[in-house]
């Protein structure tokens, strides 16, 4: 069965097919919810915001073309979350420490029980990064976004986004090297391995 891409569904929605937007909602809801929950703890509020976002898109008279559907949705939900968290504050003035980004061991998607030690060590190491570094790492590694998409979502210049990732990876590598005796080598299927740490900074 042919799976329609995000771009095809978005173009179909722009041509008046409301069912195409419903498919995008089904496809991206869980990912949007997980991302938003790292910024805001209220699960009910997040659920409402995600549904509000798609309702607003549904009501657009002339939906515009976008370069990345996933990037556009993540950027939109992040903006809504910041407005919810900092009501009455100009979102353009919000600094990274104003938007905490929480990652847990569950985010590492370890597939085998014997990987629990690496899972725990990596989760602890990631928590030592700054909120902005954690968010860039999450977007780059776990959501597989390009630098262009990350820059759009976080309103960052390209070089600044790369610097955040470089500094985050450098710190992660240092922490993990200090704990190398207690951390087993991750299997090839692991979502966030040392190889990916090295590759992510390219």
Nearest partner of 119 among 57, 38, 190, 168, judged by Cα: 190
| Residue 163 DSSP SS3 | helix
pLDDT of residue 123: 81
Distances (CA, A) of 174 to 9, 115, 161: 43, 20, 20
The pair of structure tokens assigned to 119 is 């899972």
In terms of phi and psi (left: phi > 0; alpha: psi -120 to 50; beta: otherwise), the region of 144 is left
pLDDT of residue 87: 65
What's the helix, strand, coil split of the chain in %, to 5? 65, 0, 35
| Residues 36-89: tens digit of each pLDDT | 999 888 999 999 999 999 999 999 988 999 999 999 999 999 999 988 877 644
Averages of pLDDT over runs of 10 residues in the chain (202 residues) are: 87 95 97 93 94 95 92 96 69 48 61 60 86 93 93 95 94 83 40 51 50
pTM of the predicted structure, to 2 decimals: 0.78
């Amino acid at each position: 069965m042919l799976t329609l891409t995000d771009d095809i569904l978005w173009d179909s929605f722009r041509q008046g097919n409301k069912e195409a937007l419903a498919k995008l909602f089904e496809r991206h809801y869980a990912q949007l919810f997980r991302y938003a929950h790292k910024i805001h703890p209220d699960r009910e509020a997040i659920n409402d915001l995600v549904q509000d976002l798609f309702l607003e898109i549904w009501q657009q008279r002339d939906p515009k073309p976008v370069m990345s559907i996933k990037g556009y949705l993540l950027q939109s939900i992040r903006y809504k979350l910041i407005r919810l968290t900092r009501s009455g504050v100009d979102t353009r003035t919000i600094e990274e420490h104003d938007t905490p980004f929480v990652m847990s061991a569950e985010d590492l998607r370890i597939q085998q029980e014997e990987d629990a030690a690496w899972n725990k060590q990596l989760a602890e190491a990631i928590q030592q990064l700054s909120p902005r570094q954690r968010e860039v790492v999450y977007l780059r590694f776990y959501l597989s976004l390009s630098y262009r998409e990350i820059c759009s979502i976080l309103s960052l210049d390209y070089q600044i986004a790369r610097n955040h990732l470089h500094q985050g990876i450098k710190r992660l590598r240092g922490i993990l090297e200090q704990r190398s005796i207690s951390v087993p080598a991750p299997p090839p299927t692991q979502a966030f391995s040392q190889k990916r740490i090295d590759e992510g900074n390219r």
